[in-house]
C-alpha cells in the first residue's frame, strides 16, 4: 500500500494560522559577542546558559557524528541535536517564532531558512569569504553547511534478475515494466522529494511536470518521509529504482551495495543547506562557541567525510567513488512562496 504523507503541509498550514492570529515574541537580530572557548568562562553561568539545543533534519549518522565532536570539545556544555523532518521543523519554528527552545538550526535547506529568516540573527562573526559566491547569504542570516544533490539510483542486480534495462531518462521510468519498483520521497515531507519536483517544473514547466508525476504514480511502490529512505530500500532490495540522495548512494556503494547512480538530461536536483541562529539566542556565549567551533575545522572534516559537494573556496573532493562534475539541474526561483504553491498542488 502506498504511503501518502501530508503531515508537513498540514503542520505548516496550522502554523501559519497561528501566526496570523498572534504576534511572534523574542529578541531581534544583532551583532554577536566575541567568541571564546568553552573552558575560558570565569563567571558563573546563568541557569541554562550552558545548554544548547540544535534542531536539524539531517541524517541520523550525521547527527551522531556532530554530537560526538561537540561533546568532545565542550564537556561542560549540555548540547543536544533534535531531529525533525524539514517541513515539521519549519512549521514548529513558524509557530514558536523566537520564543523557542531552539538555539541553532543545523543543515536545513536554504528554502526553509529563507522562509524563516525573520526569526534568525545576523551571523557577523563568521568569515563569509571562505564560501563560494553562490552559497553566500548577503544578509548573513545563514551560513553554508553543505550542498547535496539528488539522483536516480538503480539496483543493477534486481534489474538484471528481472531482465529489465537500466532506465536512461525520466520518461523511461513511466514504462509499466517498472510498476511497483520505484520509490521517491514525498515532496510535502522531504526536501529531497521537493527538489525532484522543482527541478522538473523548471525543466518542463509546471503543467507538464505535474502531469509526469501523475503518470509516475502508477509505478511508485511508496512515497517515503525521508530523502535517504528510497536508496536504503534499493540497497536492501525492497525496490529497484530510487529517486534519492547522491551522497547516501555513494556511501552504500562503498559498502558493497549493487547500486548505480544516474543523472538524466534534466540534471541533478540539488539544494544548499545551512546553519542559522535563532534571533536573541546569539547572546548566549555557548551558542557562539558552538558555531565558531563548527566553522573552525569541523566543517572541513564533515565535508571531506560525508558531503564533498563544493561549498568552500578551494574545497577538494576526496571521497572514493563520489561523482565529479555533477550536472546540476536548474533550481532557480526556489523561493518559499513558490515552494508553498507547488506543494499545495501535490496530491499523491
Kindly list the structural domains of the chain, giving each domain's residue range(s) and its CATH number in brackets, ordered by start: 7-147+273-319 (3.40.190.10), 148-270+328-333+338-345 (3.40.190.10)
Identify the residue with better confidence: 13 or 311.
311
Which H helix or E strand runs over 270?
strand 270-277
What is the pLDDT at residue 40? 35
What is the pLDDT at residue 205? 98
- Phi/psi for 80 (5° steps) reads -130, 135
Identify the residue with better confidence: 299 or 237.
237
pLDDT at 316 over 90: no
Identify the residue with better confidence: 37 or 102.
102
CA pair distance 225, 189, nearest whole angstrom: 5
The grid cell for 15 is 502554523
Alpha helices in 138-180 (DSSP H): 156-161
What is the pLDDT at residue 229? 96
pLDDT at 271 over 50: yes
CA pair distance 183, 31, nearest whole angstrom: 45
Question: What's the pLDDT tens digit per position in 75-109?
Answer: 999 999 999 988 899 999 999 999 999 999 999 98
pLDDT at 223 over 60: yes
CA pair distance 57, 83, nearest whole angstrom: 5
What is the pLDDT at residue 109? 85
CA pair distance 343, 186, nearest whole angstrom: 10
What is the pLDDT at residue 47? 54
Q: Mean pLDDT in the chain? A: 87
pLDDT at 16 over 70: no
CA 334, distance to chain mean position in Å, is 14
Question: 66-80, 177-191, 303-317: lowest mean pLDDT where?
Answer: 303-317
From the list 109, 102, 94, the residue with the least C-alpha distance to 149 is: 109
pLDDT at 330 over 70: yes
Q: Which residue has the cell 562573526?
A: 125
What is the pLDDT at residue 139? 95
pLDDT at 14 over 90: no
- Phi/psi for 222 (5° steps) reads -160, 155
Instruction: Report yes or no: 233 and 183 within 8 Å, Cβ to Cβ.
Output: yes
CA pair distance 242, 248, nearest whole angstrom: 11
Query: What's 328's DSSP letter?
Result: B
Q: Can you tell me the mean pLDDT for 311-336?
A: 88
Instruction: Report yes or no: 109 and 19 within 8 Å, Cβ to Cβ.
Output: no
- The share of the chain scoring above pLDDT 90, in percent, equals 69
pLDDT at 52 over 90: yes
Question: 42-46, 155-159, 196-200, 218-222: lowest mean pLDDT where?
Answer: 42-46
Would the pTM count as exceeding 0.75? no
pLDDT at 224 over 90: yes
Residue 161 CB contacts under 8 Å (≥ 6 apart), including other chains:
none
What is the pLDDT at residue 341? 96
pLDDT at 25 over 60: no
CA pair distance 227, 232, nearest whole angstrom: 10
Instruction: Report yes or no: 9 and 343 within 8 Å, Cβ to Cβ.
Output: yes
Q: Can you tell me the mean pLDDT for 138-151?
A: 95
What is the pLDDT at residue 274? 96
Instruction: Report yes or no: 336 and 114 within 8 Å, Cβ to Cβ.
Output: yes
- The share of the chain scoring above pLDDT 70, in percent, equals 86
Burial of 181 from C-beta contacts in 10 A (0-12 / 13-18 / 19+): buried
Q: Can you tell me the mean pLDDT for 182-209?
A: 96
Amino acid at each position: 500500500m502506498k504511503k501518502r504523507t501530508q503531515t508537513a503541509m498540514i503542520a505548516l498550514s496550522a502554523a501559519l494560522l497561528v501566526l496570523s492570529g498572534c504576534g511572534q515574541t523574542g529578541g531581534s537580530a544583532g551583532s554577536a559577542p566575541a567568541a571564546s572557548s568553552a573552558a575560558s568562562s570565569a563567571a558563573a553561568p546563568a541557569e541554562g546558559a550552558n545548554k544548547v539545543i540544535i534542531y536539524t533534519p539531517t541524517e541520523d549518522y550525521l547527527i551522531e557524528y556532530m554530537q560526538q565532536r561537540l561533546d568532545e570539545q565542550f564537556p561542560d556544555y549540555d548540547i543536544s541535536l533534535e531531529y525533525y523532518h524539514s517541513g515539521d521543523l519549519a512549521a514548529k519554528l513558524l509557530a514558536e517564532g523566537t520564543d523557542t527552545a531552539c538555539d541553532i538550526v543545523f543543515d536545513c535547506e536554504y528554502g526553509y531558512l529563507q522562509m524563516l529568516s525573520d526569526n534568525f540573527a545576523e551571523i557577523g562573526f563568521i568569515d563569509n569569504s571562505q564560501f563560494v559566491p553562490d552559497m553566500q547569504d548577503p544578509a548573513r542570516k545563514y551560513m553554508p553547511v553543505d550542498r547535496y544533490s539528488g539522483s536516480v539510483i538503480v539496483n543493477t542486480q534486481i534489474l538484471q534478475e528481472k531482465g529489465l534495462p537500466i532506465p536512461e531518462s525520466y520518461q523511461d521510468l513511466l514504462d509499466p515494466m517498472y510498476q511497483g519498483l520505484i520509490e521517491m520521497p514525498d515532496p510535502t515531507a522531504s526536501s529531497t522529494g521537493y527538489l525532484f519536483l522543482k527541478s522538473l517544473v523548471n525543466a518542463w514547466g509546471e503543467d507538464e511536470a505535474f502531469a509526469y508525476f501523475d503518470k509516475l504514480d502508477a509505478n511508485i511502490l511508496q512515497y517515503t518521509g525521508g530523502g535517504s529512505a528510497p536508496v536504503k530500500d534499493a540497497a536492501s532490495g525492497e525496490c529497484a529504482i530510487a529517486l534519492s540522495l547522491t551522497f547516501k548512494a555513494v556511501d552504500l556503494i562503498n559498502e558493497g551495495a549493487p547500486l548505480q547512480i544516474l543523472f538524466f538530461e534534466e540534471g541533478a536536483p540539488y539544494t544548499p543547506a545551512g546553519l542559522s541562529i535563532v534571533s536573541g539566542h546569539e547572546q548566549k556565549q555557548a551558542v557562539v562557541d558552538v558555531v565558531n567551533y563548527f566553522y573552525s575545522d569541523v566543517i572541513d572534516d564533515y565535508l571531506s567525510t560525508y558531503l564533498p559537494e563544493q561549498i568552500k573556496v578551494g574545497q577538494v573532493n576526496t571521497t572514493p567513488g563520489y561523482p565529479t562534475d555533477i550536472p546540476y539541474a536548474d533550481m532557480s526561483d526556489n523561493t518559499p512562496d513558490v515552494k508553498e504553491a507547488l506543494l499545495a498542488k501535490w496530491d499523491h
